[in-house]
């Protein structure tokens, strides 16, 4: 019982604090990948009209709820593994996070409600809500991630820059997802927009990193470290790869490489944080981490459950694989 | 501007009170959907396929509303209750994380298959998905209630110094996560969810039967299934609730004193089945000894002790901490108990009419069922008010007070802003939800003619746009 008793030691002597630091960020990145393409589809929804809109909603319909759970898991894991960080970070970004919640509520409710009332204004209202929610959620989450990584609060240039970057990333993912899931004109549009999205993302990231380097001295050591350089170079390669794959109509590759970009973005957040987990309050990963007993329990739970989650998602994506039919409703 | 502590309390109360409606619907519908799906897939009566698809619509809307409002609660522990989260997060955060990883994921992923996948998977696969959605929704409740019950009866922890602050540290996971309150709370809540949904189904069915629908079999089958569920859950709720109250008497005596409005420690305390405030003050400051009503002498003592009418109930004045808002707890408890007994009566009434073959003819019964369609939710809300207001001033019983749990960085302006936002937003959300549910019921079940054909998806997409009216 030395692992689960009052005087527990870390499981197999593993560096659990570091592992959970990576895991929490990986949950966030997975959210930005999976729900990211839902957000992207929501933003692109603005440029389409009705028959295509129905197809777009049908394409994300079975997935978005499962995808949003990654945000719940990110929040829960951060709370469970680094409780003082959850407390300090979330209370410091009070209004911003309620903005995220509001945006997510609009995004989640709109597709359910738009068809409930046979009135064009009602439908248009919820369509607008869907677009606004889908754009605002990634923007505000990007701002949140920037503030977290740099120990800032409020709405400065870094928050804005990363917010826009995340929106561009989601649009790229959403376009790639549409290319994979639809047919005909919408599929062609998806590929075209994935190219544009990936290039815009790359340009925006380069500008933003330039700004950070020039005006946020705290970011310089990370950006010039070997890890930082690797992440930036990989981002450039994968953004170009996304565009290239979209041009060649390799739809799976497009989506996979666009999704990988969100892991790289979050990796950059992690590098900026390390070895702290909340620069604003100066808490280090070690100091903020829960004691060994709770850490061991959480680790066992995650080792059992995360594969189950991945399996569940695999089943879901398999069942709904292939291009969407326009008639999917329950 | 509202003081941040008061605003956070009000906001958490509001966001919880609204949120709980949606999980009650989804958890309560879950066993019905499993049953309907089973009968649809392996039975021969086409009515079950229509029942499944009809109640699935309600489940879908409720699940989405539950997701978006539930995420709010998780975030609020960080945004509004940072002091609590930093203090108790080492023990409290775990169940929330596991809830996300274990339960919510199960529910949310298989919901996609359950809602959209009937024609994409086989019978066994579809039934498995339905069952997993149902299990997921109940597992969610398990972890959330586990976290909540620990706050009511905390154990398995130690107070230690960490980074210069006193915090809760988990020392005995079995004691903490199998705390004494948990089984009481879990059974009471889950049974209440099924009971509430059974009442809603019965109420809707009675509404449609009274109006003389042409679609008799659908609503009559729904009514019968609901009555069976009522006959099981309504008596269980009362019997189990009695034991639960005794458990509260021993584990949270000050909450029990507030439930019974006992100020001075006394024995032979009466239980007021019906209590009437004779003055405004009697309403706002109920005191058991002064109430006018039908009091059973020694009744409260009898209930608290499990049979001893002379048992002592410790009065609120004898506790060092300030009492909770007694009037709210006292009247909420009475309302909940009264509703509980009403549901038992209703269940037996309907069961009796069924035996005499008049289940579809008793108009008074149908009216009573219609009126009671949403009363299950009223009982759930008042029950939670007893639980959560009754434990005040503690957020963690005997360990941390609510007033010390709020984020120190929170300003009155921010707190007031979001509180106002929630008042407006949640009022709109509830209004829309009620409207959508009403419309789903008005609209009635999917057409008999599209039967069990598992081009069902096509049939329903069509049905949604074409058969917009009454039949």
Q: How far apart are CA B226 and CA B214, in angstroms?
A: 20
Residue B68: closest C-alpha in chain A: A105
A88-125, pLDDT tens digit by residue?
Answer: 999 999 999 999 999 999 998 898 888 877 788 989 99
Number of domains in chain A: 1
pLDDT of residue B448: 59
Instruction: Tell me whether residue A150 is in a domain.
Output: yes
Helix ranges (DSSP H) in B163-288: 173-177, 181-210, 216-251, 253-260, 280-284
Q: Are A290 and A48 in contact (CB under 8 A)?
A: no
Instruction: Tokens 């019974």: give the residue.
Output: B260
Q: Are A293 and B170 in contact (CB under 8 A)?
A: yes
Q: Do A327 and B458 touch (CB under 8 A)?
A: yes
Q: What tokens appear for B111 in the block?
A: 């919901």
Q: What are phi and psi of B444, to 5 degrees?
A: 80, 180
Q: Does B117 touch chain A (CB under 8 A)?
A: yes
B20 closest CA partner among B85, B78, B84, B65: B65
Helix ranges (DSSP H) in A116-217: 120-150, 157-181, 184-215
List of chain A residues whose C-beta atoms are within 8 Å of the C-beta of residue B439: 116-117
Q: Which residue among A80, A92, A308 places its CB closest to the CB of B96?
A: A80
Q: What is the largest CA-CA distance in chain A?
A: 65
Instruction: Tell me whether residue A205 is in a domain.
Output: no
Residue among B18, B49, B58, B78 with most chain A CBs within 10 A, to mutate: B78
Residue B118: closest C-alpha in chain A: A330
Q: How far apart are CA A149 and CA A142, in angstroms?
A: 11
Instruction: Tell me whether residue A53 is in a domain.
Output: yes
Q: Pick out chain A residues at pLDDT < 70.
A: 1, 325-330
A83 closest CA partner among B154, B410, B100, B91: B91
List of chain B residues whose C-beta atoms are within 8 Å of the C-beta of residue A90: 75, 77-79, 82, 85
Q: How far apart are CA B399 and CA B153, in angstroms?
A: 10
Helix ranges (DSSP H) in B252-295: 253-260, 280-284
Helix B47-79 with A83-92: angle, nearest 10 deg: 90
Instruction: Tell me whether residue A200 is in a domain.
Output: no
Instruction: Tell me whether residue A199 is in a domain.
Output: no
In angstroms, the separation between the Cα of residue A83 and the nearest Cα of chain B is 5
A20 closest CA partner among A311, A291, A264: A291
| CA distances from residue B421 to A92, B425, B468 in whole angstroms, order as listed | 19, 6, 34
Q: Do A330 and B56 touch (CB under 8 A)?
A: yes
A18-22, A257-261, B305-309, B345-349: the lowest-pLDDT one:
B305-309
Instruction: Tell me whether residue A67 is in a domain.
Output: yes
B350-382, pLDDT tens digit by residue?
Answer: 999 999 988 888 899 999 999 999 999 999 999
| CA distances from residue A279 to A256, A271, A286, B20, B401 in whole angstroms, order as listed | 32, 12, 13, 36, 29
Residue among A80, A104, A117 with most chain B CBs within 10 A, to mutate: A80
User: Taking a contact as any Cβ pair under 8 Å apart, which residues of chain B between 144 and 203 contact chain A?
Assistant: 158, 163, 167, 169-173
Q: Do B74 and A76 touch (CB under 8 A)?
A: yes
The verdict on whether omega for the bond into residue B304 sits within 30 degrees of 0, i.e. cis, is no
| ipTM above threshold 0.90 | no
Count of Cβ atoms closer than 10 Å to residue A120 Cβ: 7
Residue A101: closest C-alpha in chain B: B72
Rounded to an integer, the average pLDDT of B322-329 is: 90
pLDDT of residue A234: 96
Predicted confidence band at B450 (pLDDT cuts at 50, 70, 90)?
Answer: very low
| CA distances from residue B129 to A47, B51, B123 in whole angstroms, order as listed | 35, 17, 10
A63 closest CA partner among B157, B109, B284, B346: B109
The verdict on whether omega for the bond into residue A227 sits within 30 degrees of 0, i.e. cis, is no
| Beta pairing, strands B271-276 & B394-396 | unpaired
Q: Do A95 and B418 touch (CB under 8 A)?
A: yes
Q: How far apart are CA B219 and CA B221, in angstroms?
A: 5
* Cα-based angle B424, B427, B431 (whole degrees, multiple of 5): 140
Indicate whether B176 pLDDT > 60: yes
List of chain B residues whose C-beta atoms are within 8 Å of the C-beta of residue A72: 70-71, 74, 100, 104
Q: Do A320 and B112 touch (CB under 8 A)?
A: yes
Task: Return the C-alpha torsion angle B27, B33, B38, B40, nearest 10.
Answer: -170
DSSP string, B344-396: HHHHHHHHHHHHTT-TTT-HHHHHHHHHGGGHHHHHHHHHHHHHHHHTTTEEE
Q: Do A298 and B409 touch (CB under 8 A)?
A: no
Chain A and chain B share a number of CB contacts under 8 A equal to: 249
Query: What's the mean pLDDT when you consider all of chain B?
Result: 87
In angstroms, the separation between the Cα of residue A316 and the nearest Cα of chain B is 6
Most confident of the following: B272-276, B364-368, B458-462: B364-368
List of chain A residues whose C-beta atoms are within 8 Å of the C-beta of residue B89: 79-80, 83-84, 86-87, 290
In angstroms, the separation between the Cα of residue B394 and the nearest Cα of chain A is 19
Q: How far apart are CA A294 and CA B447, in angstroms?
A: 53
What domain range includes position A160? Answer: 14-194+291-313
Q: How far apart are CA B295 and CA B289, in angstroms?
A: 10
Most confident of the following: B204-218, B238-252, B294-308: B238-252
Residue A105: closest C-alpha in chain B: B68
Q: What are phi and psi of B293, to 5 degrees?
A: 165, -170
Rounded to an integer, the average pLDDT of B206-230 is: 88
Q: Are A170 and A142 in contact (CB under 8 A)?
A: no
pTM for this one?
0.89
Give bridge partners of residue B157 from the DSSP assignment. Answer: B170
Residue B466: closest C-alpha in chain A: A118
Percent share of chain B, pLDDT over 90: 60
B77-135, pLDDT tens digit by residue?
Answer: 999 999 999 999 999 999 999 988 888 888 878 888 888 888 888 899 999 999 999 99
Handedness of CA B77, B82, B88, B94 (dihedral sign): positive
Q: What tokens appear for A138 in the block?
A: 């990634």
Task: Return the C-alpha torsion angle B422, B426, B429, B430, nearest 10.
Answer: 180
Q: What are phi and psi of B178, to 5 degrees?
A: -115, 50
Q: Do B89 and A83 touch (CB under 8 A)?
A: yes
Q: Are B228 and B202 in contact (CB under 8 A)?
A: no
Higher per-residue pLDDT: B452 or B310: B310
List of chain B residues whose C-beta atoms are within 8 Å of the C-beta of residue A62: 112-113, 115-117
Q: How far apart are CA B192 and CA B372, in angstroms?
A: 14
pLDDT of residue B471: 29
Q: Is A276 helix (H, G, I), strand (E, B) or coil?
A: strand
Q: Do A319 and B112 touch (CB under 8 A)?
A: yes
List of chain A residues whose C-beta atoms are within 8 Å of the C-beta of residue B75: 75, 90, 97-98, 101
In angstroms, the separation between the Cα of residue B199 and the nearest Cα of chain A is 24
Helix A16-44 with A94-113: angle, nearest 10 deg: 50
Predicted confidence band at B460 (pLDDT cuts at 50, 70, 90)?
Answer: very low
Q: Does B405 touch chain A (CB under 8 A)?
A: no
Q: Are A9 and A3 in contact (CB under 8 A)?
A: yes
Q: Do B425 and A105 touch (CB under 8 A)?
A: yes
pLDDT of residue B260: 86
Residue B169: closest C-alpha in chain A: A291
B18 closest CA partner among B73, B97, B55: B73
Q: What tokens appear for B131 in the block?
A: 């069952």
Q: Does B425 touch chain A (CB under 8 A)?
A: yes
In angstroms, the separation between the Cα of residue B21 and the nearest Cα of chain A is 16
List of chain B residues whose C-beta atoms are within 8 Å of the C-beta of residue A330: 53, 56-57, 60, 115-116, 118, 457, 460
Q: How far apart are CA B44 and CA A227, in angstroms?
A: 64
Instruction: Tell me whether residue A77 is in a domain.
Output: yes
DSSP conformation class of B178: T
Predicted confidence band at B456 (pLDDT cuts at 50, 70, 90)?
Answer: very low
Instruction: Tell me whether residue A247 is in a domain.
Output: no
* Half-sphere CA count of A243, side-chain side, radius 13 A: 14
Q: Is B158 helix (H, G, I), strand (E, B) or coil?
A: strand
Q: How far apart are CA B313 and CA B337, in angstroms?
A: 19
Q: Do B98 and A77 touch (CB under 8 A)?
A: no
pLDDT of residue A85: 94
Q: What is the largest CA-CA distance in chain B?
A: 71
Residue A69: closest C-alpha in chain B: B105
Q: Do B113 and A108 touch (CB under 8 A)?
A: no
In angstroms, the separation between the Cα of residue A55 and the nearest Cα of chain B is 13
Q: Which residue among B86, B90, B461 places its CB closest to the CB of A294?
A: B90
């Amino acid at each position: 019982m030395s692992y689960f008793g009052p005087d527990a030691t870390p499981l197999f002597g593993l560096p659990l604090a570091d592992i959970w630091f990576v895991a929490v960020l990986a949950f966030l990145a997975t959210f930005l990948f999976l729900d990211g393409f839902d957000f992207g589809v929501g933003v692109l929804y603005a440029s389409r009209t009705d028959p295509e809109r129905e197809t777009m909603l049908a394409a994300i319909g079975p997935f978005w709820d499962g995808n949003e759970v990654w945000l719940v898991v990110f929040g829960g894991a951060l709370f469970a593994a680094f409780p003082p960080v959850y407390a300090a970070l979330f209370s410091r970004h009070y209004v911003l996070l309620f903005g995220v919640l509001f945006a997510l509520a609009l995004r989640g409710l709109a597709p359910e409600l738009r068809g409930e009332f046979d009135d064009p204004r009602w439908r248009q209202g919820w369509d607008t809500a869907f677009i606004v929610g889908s754009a605002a959620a990634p923007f505000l989450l990007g701002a949140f991630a920037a503030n977290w990584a740099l120990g800032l609060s409020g709405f400065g240039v870094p928050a804005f820059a990363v917010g826009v970057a995340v929106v561009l990333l989601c649009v790229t993912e959403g376009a790639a997802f549409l290319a994979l899931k639809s047919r005909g004109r919408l599929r062609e549009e998806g590929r075209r927009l994935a190219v544009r999205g990936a290039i815009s993302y790359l340009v925006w990231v380069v500008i933003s990193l330039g700004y950070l380097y020039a005006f946020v001295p705290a970011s310089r050591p990370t950006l010039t470290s070997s890890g930082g350089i690797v992440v930036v170079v990989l981002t450039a390669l994968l953004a170009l790869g996304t565009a290239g794959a979209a041009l060649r109509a390799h739809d799976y590759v497009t989506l996979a490489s666009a999704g990988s970009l969100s892991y790289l973005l979050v990796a950059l957040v992690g590098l900026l944080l390390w070895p702290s987990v909340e620069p604003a309050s100066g808490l280090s990963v070690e100091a903020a981490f829960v004691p060994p007993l709770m850490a061991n329990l959480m680790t066992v739970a995650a080792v059992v459950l995360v594969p189950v989650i991945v399996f569940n998602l695999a089943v879901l994506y398999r069942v709904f694989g292939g291009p969407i039919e326009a008639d999917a409703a329950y | 501007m509202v003081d941040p502590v008061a605003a956070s309390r009000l906001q958490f109360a509001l966001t919880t009170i609204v949120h709980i409606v949606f999980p009650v619907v989804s958890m309560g519908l879950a066993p019905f959907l499993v049953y309907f799906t089973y009968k649809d897939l392996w039975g021969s009566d086409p009515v079950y396929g229509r029942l499944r698809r009809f109640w699935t619509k309600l489940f879908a809307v409720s699940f989405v509303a539950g997701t978006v409002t539930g995420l709010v609660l998780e975030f609020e522990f960080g945004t509004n209750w940072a002091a609590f989260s930093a203090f108790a997060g080492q023990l409290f955060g775990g169940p929330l994380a596991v809830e996300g990883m274990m339960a919510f994921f199960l529910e949310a992923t298989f919901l996609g298959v359950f809602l959209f996948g009937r024609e994409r998977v086989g019978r066994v696969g579809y039934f498995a998905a339905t069952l997993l959605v149902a299990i997921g929704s109940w597992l969610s409740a398990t972890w959330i209630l586990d976290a909540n019950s620990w706050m009511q009866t905390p154990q398995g922890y130690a107070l230690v110094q960490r980074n210069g602050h006193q915090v809760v540290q988990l020392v005995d996971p079995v004691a903490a996560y199998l705390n004494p309150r948990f089984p009481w709370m879990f059974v009471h809540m889950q049974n209440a969810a099924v009971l509430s949904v059974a009442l809603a189904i019965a109420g809707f069915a009675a509404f449609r039967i009274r109006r003389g629908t042409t679609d008799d079999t659908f609503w009559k089958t729904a009514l019968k299934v609901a009555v069976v569920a009522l006959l099981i859950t309504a008596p269980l709720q009362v019997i189990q609730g009695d034991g639960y109250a005794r458990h509260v008497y021993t584990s949270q005596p000050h909450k029990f004193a507030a439930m019974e409005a006992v100020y001075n420690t006394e024995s032979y305390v009466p239980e007021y089945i019906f209590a009437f405030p004779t003055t405004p003050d009697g309403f706002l400051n109920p005191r058991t000894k002064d109430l006018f009503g039908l009091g059973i002498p020694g009744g409260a003592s009898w209930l608290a002790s499990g049979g001893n009418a002379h048992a002592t109930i410790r009065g609120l004045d004898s506790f060092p901490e300030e009492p909770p808002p007694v009037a709210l707890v006292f009247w909420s408890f009475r309302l909940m108990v009264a509703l509980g007994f009403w549901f038992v009566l209703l269940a037996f009434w309907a069961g009796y009419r069924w035996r005499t073959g008049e289940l579809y003819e008793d108009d008074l019964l149908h009216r009573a069922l219609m009126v009671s369609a949403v009363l299950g939710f009223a009982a759930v809300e008042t029950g939670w008010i007893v639980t959560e207001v009754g434990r005040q001033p503690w957020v963690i019983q005997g360990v941390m007070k609510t007033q010390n749990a709020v984020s120190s960085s929170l300003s009155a302006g921010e707190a007031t802003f979001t509180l106002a936002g929630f008042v407006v937003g949640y009022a709109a959300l509830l209004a829309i939800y009620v409207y959508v549910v009403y419309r789903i019921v008005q609209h009635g079940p999917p057409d008999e003619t599209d039967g069990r054909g598992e081009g069902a998806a096509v049939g329903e997409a069509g049905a949604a746009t074409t058969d917009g009216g009454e039949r």
